[in-house]
Amino acid sequence: MRPSTAAALTFFEVLAARKTLPQKIVAPVTKNVSTRSPCKFLNHPARPKPAVMVSNEEVLAGLLALNAALYVPLVIAALRRRRQKVNATNLADAFAGLEQALKEAVPGLPAGFTWEEAIARLRSSGVQTKGMEDILKRYEEYRYGGSPLPDLDFHEVVNLANRLGGVTGGSAGGASIGH
């Protein structure tokens, strides 16, 4: 065997022996125990305070009162709003009420909305608008076509406005809204 070949074989043997060594040296697990407090300000000396003893019942009662003060007006307002009905004496009043209801109840409805757009929006949101098309046609004949105000059953319009939540104020031509 040539010396160079022998040297090469020796090198590979040593290399193979090295590879068999454990790759990861597992160090003994030690707990990092510090004698110092983890938070500095906890070491501050506590101020002497007068001892106030509050019972759990008192805390609970206080929280209940606070909640009642916060939520009762909201619930009352919501209930009152639900009870508010659009009352209209004619078709024009009914549509005035519906307009206000739409403005308040349909988020994202642009200021320049038309009746058809609003009704299409409601329909796409799953609101029933059955019967509205015919009434709207008659109303538009009056509003834009110069026809006399039609004397027809407009409870669908009022119902729709009420389903949208009803509104207060904003009546046109003597609409009585908000009772």
Partner 1 sequence: MGTEVRDKVVAEVSKVVVGREKEIDLLLTCLLARGHVLLEGVPGVSKTLVANAFSKCLGLQFKRVQFTPDILPLDIIGGFIFNLKEREFEFRKGPIFTNILLADEINRAPPKVQSALLEAMQELQVTVEGRTEKLPHPFMVIATQNPLEFEGVYPLPEGQLDRFMVKVNFRYPTEEVEASVLRRNLSSIDVSDVKTVLAAGELDALIKAVDNVKVSDEVLAYLAKVAAATRNEGSLALGASPRAMVQLIHCARAKALLAGRTYVTPDDIKGIANDVLTHRLSIDRAAALKGGPRDTEAILTAILDRVEPPR
Query: Binding residues for partner 1, per CB under 8 A?
Result: 95, 99, 110-117, 140-141, 143-146
Which residues, in sequence order, are CB contacts of 91 under 8 Å at separation 6+?
135, 138, 139, 142, 149, 150, 152, 154, 157
Nearer to partner 1, 22 or 108 (CB): 108
Q: Closest distance between partner 1 and the C-beta of residue 36, in Å?
A: 56
Q: Closest distance between partner 1 and the C-beta of residue 105, in Å?
A: 16
Round the CA-based radius of gyration of the chain to a whole number and report it. 40
Nearer to partner 1, 82 or 137 (CB): 137
Nearer to partner 1, 100 or 162 (CB): 100
Instruction: Pick the closest to residue 140 from 176, 163, 116, 164 (CA basis).
Output: 116
For residues 156 and 86, what is the distance between their CA atoms, to the nearest angstrom? 11
Q: Closest distance between partner 1 and the C-beta of residue 87, in Å?
A: 19
